[in-house]
Every structure is written in C-alpha cells, then in structure tokens.
A and B are shown apart, each in its own frame.
Chain A
Amino acid sequence: MSNTSATSPPVSTTPARSRRSIFFATLAIIIFLVPLIPGIPVYWITLLDNIGLAALVAIGLILLTGVGGMTSFGQATFCGFAAYTTAVLCAYHGMSPWLSLFIAVAITMLAAVVLGIITVPLSGHFLPLGTLAWGIAIFYLFGKLDFLGRNDGITPVPPLSIGGFQFFDSRSIFYVIWVFVIIAVFMTCNLLDSRTGRAIRALRGASSAAESFGVDTTRTKLIVFVYAALLAAISGWLYAHMQRAVNPTPFGVGASIEYLFMAVAGGAGHPAAAIFGAAFVTLLKEILTRLLPFLFGGQAHYEEVVFGIVLVLILQKSRMGLWPLVERLLPQPADPVIDRHVPALSQRPRPEAGRKILDLQMVRKQFQGLVAVNDVSFSIKAGEIAGLIGPNGAGKSTTFNLVTGTLPLTSGEIRYLDERIDGLSPRQIAARGIGRTFQHVKVLADMSVLDNVALGAHLRGSAGVVSASLRLDRKEEAQLFAEAARQIERVGLGEHMHKQAGSLALGQLRILEIARALCLDPALLLLDEPAAGLRHFEKQQLSTLLRQLRSEGMTVLLVEHDMGFVMNLTDHIVVLDFGTRIAEGTPAEVSKHPAVIQAYLGADA
C-alpha cells in the first residue's frame, strides 16, 4: 500500500550505530588498562578477575532467564564439571590446558544436553527444580569420589601458559579472563540479533505463535540452555587454572543462586548487563563480609540476609535490574539498515486456481462433554477468498486451530492439497505453506515491528547458532529483513517499522500479524478476525490488500464478524452455528439462507 519510509539511504543511520560500538570499544580498552594503573593493589585485580569469571556465567543466565524465560540452579555445577575435567586432565595426565578446554567444554555441554532434553519439554518450573536437585546431587558427588580428591579436591592444577610464559599471577590471568568475557558479550549480542535470536526472544510470551511460524520452541530452549552451560564451562575452566586447585565448595547450589542473583541484578536488557550484575554482587558481598561483622560482631553470615532482601527488592521494584540505569548513559541503538538490493527470497509455487486446496471431512473437536466442532465438512478452492462466519461460540477459531495443528482433532480428516495434515504439528503445517493470524494477538511487545514480522520468515532462512554468533549469517539476514520490510510496507505499516510493537494500536497489531504471516510465503492464509478494531478506511485498505493477494494466486480463509466486509470481499462462505455447518455458498446465497437468518436474528425473524 504505502511506501514512504525506510527507503532513506543506509548512510544516514550509520553514525548512531558506530557511536554505540565506540562506547563499547572504549569500555573494553578501559578495562584492559586497569591493571596498568601504577600502584593498583593486587587485591583489586583479583576482585576484577572474580567479576569477570562470574560475568561469563551470568551472561548465559541473562540469555536463559532474562530473554528465554527459563532458569537454572545448575550453573555452578556446570562450572564444576569443567573445572574438575580440566583439573583431572592437566594435573593427573599432564594435558595442555588449552587442549583440555575443548574436552571440558564438550563434556559440560553433553551433560547440559542430557539434562536439557529431560527437563526442557516440561512446563517452566521443572527446569529450575530439576537443575536444583541435580546440582545438589553432583555437588555431593564431587566431595565423595576418590579420583576427584573428595572434599580436598585436586591440587595443584597447572597454570595456563603460552610458549614459556605462565599466567601465574592475577594480573596476567586478568587479560585471559576479560578477553573471554568480551568475546562472550560480543557473540551473545550477535546471537540475539539473528534468526535464532528472534526465536529465543519469542520463547517468552509468544511461543505458540513462534511454533506456527516453524520455530521448534523445545529445540530453541535446549539451545539456550546448552549455550548458557557452555559459558559456565569456560568460567569453570578458567577458575581451575586461576586458582590452580579445585574443590567442591565453589560449585554448590549457593553459588548457583549467587549467579542467578547477578543475572537478575544486571537485568535482561543486554548481555553486557551481566558484567554490571556480577560487579554489583561481587562488590556487595565483599563490602558486606568486611563491614557487617564489624558492625554487628559475630561470625554469622549476615551477607546472606542482605543478599536475599536485595534480591527480593530488585524483583519488586525494578524487574529490569541495573541495566536501564546504564542504558540511559548509552547512545540510542541505531535502527537496523535494510538493504533493498539483496536477491529476493525464493517463493513457493502457488497451486493452480480452482484446485481443492483445503478439505475438511467430518472434522470433530470435543472438549470433554462440549462438542466445539461437530463433524464439519467443507472445502476451499485455490485462488478464492473464503469466509468462515457464525455467531460467537460457533467454533470458528477452534476450526482454525484444528487446521493449523494448534489443537488435535477428536476425529475426522483435514487435507491440504491432497495431503492429510491432521496430526501434524503446527511447525510441519507452517512448512507446507499455511500462514495464520490469531484471534488474540500474539506479538512480542518489546520487539520492533520489523523483528516481529521477520519472525514469520523463520522457515525461509537456515542460519544457526554458530553462524549467527560469528556473524556469518549477514547475507541471509539482509534477505529476511528485506522481505519483512517489503511485507510491512505492503500492509501499510511502513512508518511504524522500527517502533516497538507494543506501541501500536490493536488494529495495527492485527495488520502486523498479517505481514508476519505473509513473510512465511504462504499459499493459504488463515486470518482470524483481521478487521476487528480497524476503522472504516483501514478496512477498505485491508479489502484492497486481500484482493491483491488473491490476484497473485493466494488463497485466503478468514473468520470475521463484520458482515459488510465479508459479503463484499469473499467468493465463498461457510456458516457455523454451535459447532455445526448450517449453510455454505456464495455471499448472496448465504445471506438469504433461512438457517443463517435464524442463527443470527433468532427464530421469528
């Protein structure tokens, strides 16, 4: 429809982007200069070492908890896995620490995969509970096994070394630790700003929508969990070679809780928030352990009391943690640049007009005693706009959910282009070319309109975690964004492209959902009340858009209550009442049908 904004030349947005990069680069350089300050006590360097080690773990937890909406009480255990692995390999078998890094990380990730496969498919609270119990079990195991030195642990573990140089003191290992931290922040930022990153961000609040666009949410959760374990493993490996000893104490549940505290204190906004969270908690602990016994006397762990209170207060008062305070000081992130010259994504062939594209035979859905859809049969031909109408509670949205695999059928058959699709998952059905919108809008309010719509193109890309974190996915990303931008402009939301989706009106969100569905490159588009909340002029625009789609070979099935809208637009209407099909035909036929009149107006009409 409109094609106004976002065609501005890419150059104009570059300065803001580089300003933010300059800020982070400066921060990194400052960090690296700290040990060179003349006369800085070793004590401070050691504290910074510990902050870096903790930040590595906390970055993973921010991704897991803040972004993915899961949590784990097993992060310290993952550190311990890697620390013990490298200690055994290097101290007993004389392996090079650099080689053992790979083995330690691989073993830890394997443990995370096994644990994740078990717990991730379960509802949210089983992951923390599972990791909690598992963490306690492994903690006790560390202290009981002879070959791990029982409670005494393993000592001495050789230090890291390059050539003849050994990283013995806290000043030299400082650089190793912080190089890892900066790489981790950088790669995590890259990961979040990618195809997989959009899927991860959709886990929290829109997972069923994500499934309808081909995102395997269970697998995505597993990816995040294993990624977090990977970062914990690197931290554990560094710890073993920094301390040159391992014992069970730092790998207990208490430590895991502390890491979670850091992630919460840092906030969900940005991976770099982990550094602030780690610094906050480490320094707070340092101050409390020195100050409180001095104030109150005794040997009691007052810092635990204060920690708990601070954690509760943060969650009560500022669920975003410290990051918003930091972000206020940063330059605004630039809007992503859309390159219009990338080759367009390939499109699936449209079925020839007139062919039966969707066929429902005796479809039935029962919720215990309630029959929501009662042996309904109808079919739709390719290239038509079909309407599914009926009074509230007639079973229209349930029928949609049956077709898209969101709900399982009680009995009956659904065919899409002669292939049975009942029993398939929403992902598999999406992959066949059925796009949909939702009656209750499912968009991610804190993500931009562009990102929300790009999620719809998930199946048209293939880049995974590795290529995303290494920025090897840019060509594909440019294509996905170009497609998303094209669909956003097509539906008329061009001027809102870079706004947060949460700032749009409900009617606009419904249109956003249409753009997202179009990004899937569907042959069949299912729209659930697309015109609800639209003004008259916007409804006319929507009609024009749908007619245009039809002329391009798209088939549309829509549920709608606005009779004027449906009657003017559709070629074919199916009427449901109390889950039963009561009429079918052209708009003119249906509007004269006595059963329809009775259903809408009552018996005497």
Chain B
Amino acid sequence: MDSTILLFLLQDGITNGALYGLLGIVTVLVFAVTRIIFVPQGEFVTYGALTLALLDTGRVPGTIWLLIGFGVVAFAVELWMSRHDLNARKIVREALIKIILPCLIALAVIWLAPMKLPPWANLLITLAIITPMGPYLYTIAFRPVAEASVLTLFIVAIGVHLSMQGLGLVLFGAEGLRGTPLSTLSLPVGPLVATGQTLSIYVLTLVTMAALTYFFNKPLFGKALRATAINRLGARLVGIRTSLSGAIAFVLAAIIGALTGALSAPMTTIYYDTGFLIGLKGFIAAIIGSLASYPLTVIAALAVGIAEALASFYASQFKEVIVFTLIIPVLIWLSLSSHHVEEEEE
C-alpha cells in the first residue's frame, strides 16, 4: 500500500482518537471526583449529536422535553433529600435552577430553532440544552447513593445508561442523522486536507486535557474535588461541599460529551446507540490511562483511533473485535505491574 493511504488512515485515526480522548478524559474526571464509572457518557454524545443535527434542519429537538423532565424530577429528589431543613429560599432557588431554567431554555429553542441559525449558534443551543442534564442526572440517580461502593455506583451507571439509551430511541427514532460541518474551512496539507472540523477537534482535546491537568493539580478547588473522591467524609469535615463537587463533574461531563457528539455529527451518521460505542472506546483509553492520567488517556485514545483506522482498512470485518481486544494486553500489563492488595471499601 502507498504512503498516501497510510497518511489518510493516520489522519482519520487521529481525528477519531481525539474524540475518544475527550470522552476518556471525562471518564477519568468523573471517576476521580465521584468514583462513578460513568457509562452514560455515550448518551450525552448521542444527545449532543442528534440535537445539533435536528437544529441544523430547523426542527425542534425532543431533548428539550427531556431537559424539562430531568429538571422536574431532580427538583423533586432535591426537595425530598433535604426535606428536614427546607425553607422558602431554598425551594425558590431550586425551582429557579431546576424548573424555570430548563423551561426558559426550551422556550428559547422553540423560538430559535425554525430560524435555521448558523452552525456555531446551533452548537451553543445544543450545549445549553444538554449541559444542565448532567447535574440534574447526578441529583436524580447518583446523589442518593453517593456513599455506596464503586461496584454499586457502576451498576447504577449501567441502569442510567439503559434508560437514557432507551429515551434516545424514543426521542430520535431508529433512523440515523448527520450534522452539517461547523465551518467550510479546508487547508491542504501535503496530500491531506485539514478541515475546520478536524482542527477544532484537535484544539478542543488538547485544551481540555491541559486545562483539567492544571485544574486538578494547582488550584485549591481542584484539590478539593480530588479530596472528595478519596474520602467524602473527610472532605466534608474540612468544609468541602461534596455534592457540589459531583454536580460540577457532571456539568463538565455533559458539556464535553455534547461537544464530542456535536463535533462528530458531521463526520458520521449517528444513531441512538452510536454514543455508547464511541463512549466505550473512550473507556478503553481511560483504562489504559489507569483511570488516573489525562495525558496518558489522550495518548491511549489516539492509539485506539489509529488501530481502529488501520483495522477498518485491513480487516474491516473485525474492526470492533480488534479495538475491543486491545484492552486485553493492557490489562495483562497492568496486572503484572501492580502488586498491591487493596482493601475494598464497603
């Protein structure tokens, strides 16, 4: 085969790898703060991609109804959980955040969607719809069991994934959709073409990785988030608001998930269950990074993307098999290099 094909494959692999990297970063982030292995990450990708694709065609996406539904349930859960120290101020504040805000967003979308705004405006609208879902979801599903074991949280995450994927099917149907590119920019680089789309993916991934690495090591607030994961009780005793930490992690998860979806929508057809598979590839990268390191996760994600691109050329039949088997040698390596017997929490 010639080098041009190889270059094309590499470019394709790096682009997909960067997207997996973004999701891998979120997986590491959410795990570091909340100990949740956040399987429903993929659903934010689906929701983001399909919401953007619908907005591009001037239709009102069904996700706005979901946003209101999430908000109302989160409001009810919030009031129930703090039923022993309720006051009017708190109720009003929660109602503002969890009922009025999603309703306003929904009204704005109903008004704006038929105007067929430019792609970047639709991207912002998409983020506005999807982002609040993150903290709502945290309140509904995870806060009531925040003290549970990693295993319990994982199974809860699987339940959330099932529901959200099912809701995706209800909202978007079984047909796939494709978005329009954010920009028509295209720069020839040798035999390759760098589009505005791929460049924005690279920039986003690098910026996110650098920002989170900095954030978790330097400012006091990042340290507070990490402390929450290591010991919730201890963190609370020194004055960290642990539920706020979780909510912030979920805001980031929803934003990055929706962005990943929005950026990948123009490159491939997205179905209601596509996000799960994309998210799982991010997971593989996160596992290779031992659920701890952002740069290592991104490097691993690029490797996954490149392996997938090469596999789709040489053995397209076995593309998924090869990508998901990649994890086995990594696990062997991890188990040979770790020697600790740890006490599992309970």
Mostly, the A contact residues are helix
A316 contact set on B, CB distance < 8 A: 141, 144-145, 156
Contact B158 A302 (CB under 8 A): no
Contact B283 A315 (CB under 8 A): no
The CA-CA distance from A413 to B283 in the complex, in Å, is 44
B167 contact set on A, CB distance < 8 A: 305
B155 contact set on A, CB distance < 8 A: 71, 260, 264, 311, 315
Chain A interface residue count, CB cutoff 8 Å, equals: 55
- Indicate if B214 sits at the interface (CB-CB under 8 A): no
Supposing A128-B154, A300-B169, A312-B160 touch, asked if A141 and B321 sit within 8 A by C-beta, the answer is: yes
**Contact bitstring A43-71, B, C-beta under 8 A = 1, else 0:** 00000000000000000000001000111
Contact B331 A140 (CB under 8 A): no
Out of A134, A211, A260, name the residue touching B324 (CB < 8 Å): A134
- Indicate if B76 sits at the interface (CB-CB under 8 A): no
B335 contact set on A, CB distance < 8 A: 117-119, 121-122
Contact B343 A122 (CB under 8 A): no
**Contact bitstring B317-339, A, C-beta under 8 A = 1, else 0:** 11011011101100110110010
Supposing A133-B327, A307-B162 touch, asked if A125 and B291 sit within 8 A by C-beta, the answer is: yes
Contact A311 B331 (CB under 8 A): no
- Indicate if B85 sits at the interface (CB-CB under 8 A): no
Supposing A137-B325, A264-B155, A300-B169 touch, asked if A132 and B280 sit within 8 A by C-beta, the answer is: yes
- Indicate if B152 sits at the interface (CB-CB under 8 A): yes
Contact B318 A126 (CB under 8 A): no
- Indicate if A144 sits at the interface (CB-CB under 8 A): yes
The CA-CA distance from A310 to B162 in the complex, in Å, is 11
- Indicate if B5 sits at the interface (CB-CB under 8 A): no
Most chain B CB inside 10 Å of its own CB: which residue of A119, A305, A306, A319: A305
**A117, closest chain B residue (CB):** B335
Contact B165 A304 (CB under 8 A): yes
Contact B342 A260 (CB under 8 A): no
Contact A69 B156 (CB under 8 A): no
B328 contact set on A, CB distance < 8 A: 118, 130, 133-134
B318 contact set on A, CB distance < 8 A: 140-141, 144
Most chain A CB inside 10 Å of its own CB: which residue of B150, B164, B332, B335: B335
Mostly, the B contact residues are helix
- Indicate if A257 sits at the interface (CB-CB under 8 A): yes
Contact B166 A125 (CB under 8 A): no
- Indicate if A10 sits at the interface (CB-CB under 8 A): no
Contact B161 A308 (CB under 8 A): yes
Out of B149, B173, B287, B324, name the residue touching A126 (CB < 8 Å): B287
Contact B159 A309 (CB under 8 A): yes
The CA-CA distance from A359 to B296 in the complex, in Å, is 45
Contacts of A115-156 to chain B: CB distance below 8 A = 117-119, 121-126, 128-130, 132-134, 136-138, 140-141, 144
**Contact bitstring A100-126, B, C-beta under 8 A = 1, else 0:** 000000000000000001110111111
Contact A304 B320 (CB under 8 A): no
The CA-CA distance from A70 to B39 in the complex, in Å, is 17
- Indicate if B220 sits at the interface (CB-CB under 8 A): no
- Indicate if B194 sits at the interface (CB-CB under 8 A): no
Instruction: Give the distance to chain B from A177, nearest Cβ to Cβ, in Å.
Output: 27
**Contact bitstring A294-325, B, C-beta under 8 A = 1, else 0:** 00001111111111111110011001000000
Contact A144 B166 (CB under 8 A): no
Contact B150 A125 (CB under 8 A): yes
Contact A305 B37 (CB under 8 A): no
Interface-located stretch among A200-208, A327-335, A460-468:
A200-208
**A71, closest chain B residue (CB):** B151
Contact A133 B324 (CB under 8 A): yes
Contact B341 A208 (CB under 8 A): yes
The CA-CA distance from A144 to B311 in the complex, in Å, is 14
Out of A207, A299, A308, name the residue touching B343 (CB < 8 Å): A207
B291 contact set on A, CB distance < 8 A: 125
- Indicate if A217 sits at the interface (CB-CB under 8 A): yes
Contact A136 B170 (CB under 8 A): no
Contact A69 B166 (CB under 8 A): no
Contact B343 A71 (CB under 8 A): no
The CA-CA distance from A214 to B251 in the complex, in Å, is 46
Contact B151 A124 (CB under 8 A): yes
B283 contact set on A, CB distance < 8 A: 129, 132-133
Contact A312 B166 (CB under 8 A): no
The CA-CA distance from A20 to B231 in the complex, in Å, is 43
Out of A121, A203, A315, name the residue touching B152 (CB < 8 Å): A315
The CA-CA distance from A71 to B155 in the complex, in Å, is 9
Instruction: Give the distance to chain B from A26, nearest Cβ to Cβ, in Å.
Output: 33
A65 contact set on B, CB distance < 8 A: 151
- Indicate if B163 sits at the interface (CB-CB under 8 A): yes
Contact A133 B280 (CB under 8 A): yes
Most chain B CB inside 10 Å of its own CB: which residue of A132, A137, A312: A312
B169 contact set on A, CB distance < 8 A: 300-301, 304
The CA-CA distance from A76 to B331 in the complex, in Å, is 21
Out of B159, B173, B320, name the residue touching A315 (CB < 8 Å): B159
B240 contact set on A, CB distance < 8 A: none
Supposing A125-B291, A257-B162, A309-B159 touch, asked if A315 and B145 sit within 8 A by C-beta, the answer is: yes
- Indicate if B105 sits at the interface (CB-CB under 8 A): no
**Contact bitstring B145-188, A, C-beta under 8 A = 1, else 0:** 10011111011101111111111011001100000000000000
The CA-CA distance from A304 to B168 in the complex, in Å, is 11
- Indicate if B344 sits at the interface (CB-CB under 8 A): yes
Contact A311 B158 (CB under 8 A): yes
Contact A305 B280 (CB under 8 A): no
Most chain A CB inside 10 Å of its own CB: which residue of B148, B283, B331: B331
Instruction: Give the distance to chain B from A47, nearest Cβ to Cβ, in Å.
Output: 22
- Indicate if B2 sits at the interface (CB-CB under 8 A): no
Contact B158 A260 (CB under 8 A): yes
Instruction: Give the distance to chain A from B279, nearest Cβ to Cβ, in Å.
Output: 11
B280 contact set on A, CB distance < 8 A: 132-133, 136
Instruction: Give the distance to chain A from B297, nearest Cβ to Cβ, in Å.
Output: 14
Contacts of B187-234 to chain A: CB distance below 8 A = none
Instruction: Give the distance to chain B from A135, nearest Cβ to Cβ, in Å.
Output: 8
B331 contact set on A, CB distance < 8 A: 118-119, 122, 126, 130
- Indicate if B284 sits at the interface (CB-CB under 8 A): yes
A264 contact set on B, CB distance < 8 A: 155
Instruction: Give the distance to chain A from B288, nearest Cβ to Cβ, in Å.
Output: 11
Out of A69, A217, A299, name the residue touching B341 (CB < 8 Å): A217
**Contact bitstring A194-229, B, C-beta under 8 A = 1, else 0:** 000000000111011001000001100000000000
Contact A140 B162 (CB under 8 A): no
The CA-CA distance from A285 to B287 in the complex, in Å, is 33
The CA-CA distance from A205 to B173 in the complex, in Å, is 45
Instruction: Give the distance to chain B from A281, nearest Cβ to Cβ, in Å.
Output: 12
The CA-CA distance from A306 to B291 in the complex, in Å, is 30
Instruction: Give the distance to chain B from A436, nearest Cβ to Cβ, in Å.
Output: 15
Contact A140 B321 (CB under 8 A): yes
B173 contact set on A, CB distance < 8 A: 300
Contact A69 B344 (CB under 8 A): yes
The CA-CA distance from A98 to B176 in the complex, in Å, is 46
- Residues on A lying within 8 angstroms of B by beta carbon are 65, 69-71, 117-119, 121-126, 128-130, 132-134, 136-138, 140-141, 144, 203-205, 207-208, 211, 217-218, 257, 260-261, 264, 298-312, 315-316, 319
Given contacts A124-B344, A140-B321, 4 further A-B contacts (CB under 8 A): A117-B335, A130-B327, A257-B162, A299-B174
What are the 10 tightest A-B residue pairs by CB atom distance, in nearest-first order? A308-B163, A304-B166, A311-B159, A308-B162, A305-B166, A137-B324, A205-B346, A312-B159, A133-B327, A140-B320
- Residues on B lying within 8 angstroms of A by beta carbon are 37, 141, 144-145, 148-152, 154-156, 158-167, 169-170, 173-174, 280, 283-284, 287, 291, 317-318, 320-321, 323-325, 327-328, 331-332, 334-335, 338, 341-344, 346
Q: List 14 A-B contacts (CB under 8 A).
A: A71-B151, A118-B335, A122-B334, A125-B37, A129-B287, A140-B321, A140-B324, A144-B318, A260-B158, A298-B170, A304-B163, A304-B166, A305-B167, A315-B156
